[in-house]
Chains A and B, each alone.
Chain A
C-alpha cells in the first residue's frame, strides 16, 4: 500500500509580525509544518506500522522546507519526501499548487491513499483536498476524526454540526483529517538531524512541465493586496490595585457599561 501525505510548510502565524501600515513581514518569519498536516503524517505512519505501507510526503513550497518541515515529517516515520520548490515564495493562489501536486503524484506513480490536514494554517481554505480529488477523479472525505483501512476500502468517521457520520469509500481516495484524530509523535532534534537528505527530493516546477512560480496570480485569481486586519478600537483602561480593590472597580465599571444583569 502506498500513502501520500500532503504536508504544507507555512509561516508560523502565531509568531508572524504584522506591520500596522504594510501588513505581514515575511522576512525572517518563523516557519513550520502546518499543525493539521502533522496529524496527517501521524495517521499515515500509524497505518504504515500496522500494514507496512510506504509513506511519501509531498509538499509544494519554499526551498527551505526541505531542510525543516520535510525532515521533520520523515523523522516522524515517513519513508521519503518530495518537494516542489517555489524558491523563496509562499504561494497564495491555488492553481500552481494544484497542478504541481497532480504532476508530482503522477510522477510518484501508484498510490492507494492520500491524506492531508483539513485546512492549512496559513490560508484556511479546505480547498486543495476536494479540488485534487476532482482532478484525479477519486473520492474525497473531509474532516476525519477516525479512519480505518480494510480490504481496498476506507471507513471514515467525521462530525458535522449535529451528527456523527460514518462514511465508506473505495481506494484510492483522499481523506482530510482534523486535529482530533490523533496525537502526533514529536521527533527529537537528533532524529530530525539524522534524516539523510537523500530521502528528500527537491524539484523545480519546470521539471514537472509547469511554468515559473507566480506567487500571487494564476488562471483563476489574482491576489491584489495584503493588509493588516482592522480590530475594534478599545478603551484600554487599566484597572489597578490590590485584588479586592480591582474586583470592586471592575464589577462597578461593568455595571455602568450595562453588560451585567
Chain B
C-alpha cells in the first residue's frame, strides 16, 4: 500500500487535502491511498487519483477514538510514512488520537511536509502565527492535519480504484453519543467570500455594527471581525472571526476597520488580494499590512464611504 494515506470521516473533506497529499505522495513516486469509514458516499471523491480506497467496517459513527484506533492498527501492519487528516473539528481529534496511539510525530495544521532523504520534516505556524517552526521527525512516521479551504483540489476523472472493505479490530470508545442536532448558525462561510469588511476593538458599541453592515451591503461584502468581538464581547458568531483561531480567508478585498493588527488576526487575511486598513492610531500594526492605509477615525471614514457609495450608485 502507498506510503501516504488520507483518512477522513467525511469524504468530501478529502478534497481539501488532495493537493498536498498528491504532492507528498509524489515524493515517494506514488499516489496517496484514501481511507474512510464504510458506508460513506464517495461520488466525486473516488475518481481523484487515489492508489487505493479502503472502507473501514464496524466503526461507530462519529467515534473519533475508534476511527483512530482502526487507522493506528493498520499503520502497524502496513507501515505508511505519512497519514494526512483534513482538519475538520472531528478530524483534528482523530488525528491527535492516531498520533498518540501510533507514536507518530504530529503536525497539526501543517504548512508544509518536506522529505530530506528518508527524514520527514514539517513546518507549522506557532506563537500566534508570527513564527514558523520547522521540526524534524525522529519517529519513522508523521500524522498531519491541514486547515480546510487552503488548497483548491485538482480535477477528478481518474480511474476509480476498487473499494476494499476491511474490518480491523479496534479498541471501543467509552464515549457514547446521546444526541445530535443541527447547529443553528448564520450560514456565512467567510472562506468563500469575495469581499470582507472586518471590524475590531475600535467599534465602540454593539449597535454600531449596523453601520458596518450597511457599508458591507453597499460593497456586496460579508462582515468579519477580530477575536475580541466573538470570544470576549460575543457581538458576532464565531464563524465571522478571521484569524488563527477563526477562519483563514482569501477574498479579493479585505477592509480592516478599527482592528489593531495583532499577528493572530493578520495571519487570517494574509492571502487577501487587496487589504485596506482604517484605524485612527497611526502606530497600529495593521497599517503595515495594508495596500491602502487610512489613519483616521472609523466613525468619520465609514459614514463618508457610505454616503459616497450611495451618491455614486444613485447617479
A residues neighboring B (CB under 8 Å) = 11, 13-14, 16, 18, 23-24, 92-94, 119, 121-127, 129-131, 133-135, 138-143, 155, 159-170, 173, 179-180, 218-232, 234-240, 243-244, 246-248, 250-251, 253-254, 257-261
Q: In angstroms, how far is the closest chain A Cβ from the Cβ of B313?
A: 11
Of the candidates B88, B121, B245, the one having the most CB atoms from chain A within 10 angstroms of its own CB is B245
Whether the Cβ atoms of A166 and B294 lie closer than 8 Å is no
Given A139-B175, A232-B289, A246-B301, 17 more pairs with CB closer than 8 A: A14-B128, A14-B264, A119-B245, A126-B96, A134-B101, A135-B100, A140-B93, A167-B177, A168-B177, A179-B231, A220-B104, A220-B139, A227-B131, A246-B296, A251-B305, A257-B273, A259-B252
Cβ contact of B275, chosen from A139, A140, A234, cutoff 8 A:
A234
Q: In angstroms, how far is the closest chain B Cβ from the Cβ of A131?
A: 4
Whether the Cβ atoms of B305 and A229 lie closer than 8 Å is no
Q: A14-B264, A236-B290, A250-B305 are in contact. Are A124 and B276 (CB under 8 A)?
A: no
Whether the Cβ atoms of A124 and B126 lie closer than 8 Å is yes
Q: In angstroms, how far is the closest chain B Cβ from the Cβ of A180?
A: 7
Interchain CA distance A260-B97 in the complex, whole Å: 45
Interchain CA distance A165-B137 in the complex, whole Å: 35
Residues of B contacting A251 in the complex (Cβ-Cβ under 8 angstroms): 305, 308-309, 312
Whether the Cβ atoms of A131 and B100 lie closer than 8 Å is yes
Q: In angstroms, how far is the closest chain A Cβ from the Cβ of B39?
A: 18
Closest to B275 in A: A234
Of the candidates B89, B101, B275, B301, the one having the most CB atoms from chain A within 10 angstroms of its own CB is B89
Cβ contact of B139, chosen from A221, A236, A246, cutoff 8 A:
A221
Interchain CA distance A185-B178 in the complex, whole Å: 31
Whether the Cβ atoms of A243 and B89 lie closer than 8 Å is no
Residues of B contacting A170 in the complex (Cβ-Cβ under 8 angstroms): 174
Whether the Cβ atoms of B312 and A162 lie closer than 8 Å is no
Cβ contact of B130, chosen from A16, A142, A165, A222, cutoff 8 A:
A16
Q: Which one of B18-26, B51-59, B179-187 is at the A interface?
A: B179-187
Closest to B234 in A: A180
Whether the Cβ atoms of B266 and A165 lie closer than 8 Å is no
Whether the Cβ atoms of A234 and B291 lie closer than 8 Å is yes
Q: A124-B109, A251-B308, A254-B253 are in contact. Are A13 and B178 (CB under 8 A)?
A: no
Cβ contact of A236, chosen from B103, B273, B291, cutoff 8 A:
B291
Whether the Cβ atoms of B292 and A237 lie closer than 8 Å is yes
Whether the Cβ atoms of B244 and A250 lie closer than 8 Å is no
Whether the Cβ atoms of A134 and B97 lie closer than 8 Å is yes
Residues of A contacting B309 in the complex (Cβ-Cβ under 8 angstroms): 247, 251
B73 interfacial contact with A, CB 8 Å: no
Closest to B87 in A: A126
Whether the Cβ atoms of B304 and A243 lie closer than 8 Å is yes
B residues neighboring A (CB under 8 Å) = 62, 65, 88-90, 92-93, 96-97, 99-101, 103-106, 108-109, 121, 125-139, 173-183, 195, 219-220, 231, 238, 244-245, 252-253, 262-264, 266-267, 270-276, 287-296, 300-301, 303-305, 307-309, 312
A-B contact pairs, 23 of them (CB 8 A): A13-B127, A14-B128, A16-B128, A119-B245, A122-B127, A124-B125, A126-B93, A130-B100, A134-B101, A159-B89, A167-B177, A168-B176, A173-B175, A218-B138, A224-B135, A231-B266, A244-B304, A246-B304, A250-B294, A251-B305, A254-B253, A254-B292, A261-B220
Cβ contact of B178, chosen from A14, A131, A168, cutoff 8 A:
A168
Whether the Cβ atoms of A160 and B177 lie closer than 8 Å is no
Q: In angstroms, how far is the closest chain A Cβ from the Cβ of B221?
A: 9
Interchain CA distance A142-B91 in the complex, whole Å: 11
Whether the Cβ atoms of B253 and A260 lie closer than 8 Å is yes
The dominant DSSP class at the A interface is: mixed
Whether the Cβ atoms of A239 and B138 lie closer than 8 Å is no
Interchain CA distance A234-B13 in the complex, whole Å: 32
Interchain CA distance A202-B203 in the complex, whole Å: 43
Residues of B contacting A161 in the complex (Cβ-Cβ under 8 angstroms): 88-89, 183
Of the candidates A13, A240, A257, the one having the most CB atoms from chain B within 10 angstroms of its own CB is A13
Q: In angstroms, how far is the closest chain A Cβ from the Cβ of B119?
A: 10
Q: In angstroms, how far is the closest chain B Cβ from the Cβ of A42?
A: 14
List of 9 A-B pairs having minimum Cβ-Cβ separation, nearest first: A13-B128, A243-B304, A131-B100, A166-B179, A247-B308, A130-B96, A247-B304, A259-B253, A134-B100
Q: A234-B291, A259-B253 are in contact. Are A130 and B93 (CB under 8 A)?
A: yes
Q: A168-B175, A236-B293 are in contact. Are A13 and B130 (CB under 8 A)?
A: yes
Interchain CA distance A256-B287 in the complex, whole Å: 21
Cβ contact of B179, chosen from A165, A218, A234, cutoff 8 A:
A165
Residues of B contacting A165 in the complex (Cβ-Cβ under 8 angstroms): 62, 177, 179-180
Q: In angstroms, how far is the closest chain B Cβ from the Cβ of A231?
A: 6
Q: A135-B100, A165-B177, A238-B295 are in contact. Are A125 and B106 (CB under 8 A)?
A: yes
Cβ contact of A253, chosen from B100, B108, B292, cutoff 8 A:
B292
Q: In angstroms, how far is the closest chain B Cβ from the Cβ of A43?
A: 16
Whether the Cβ atoms of A248 and B308 lie closer than 8 Å is yes
Whether the Cβ atoms of B133 and A229 lie closer than 8 Å is no
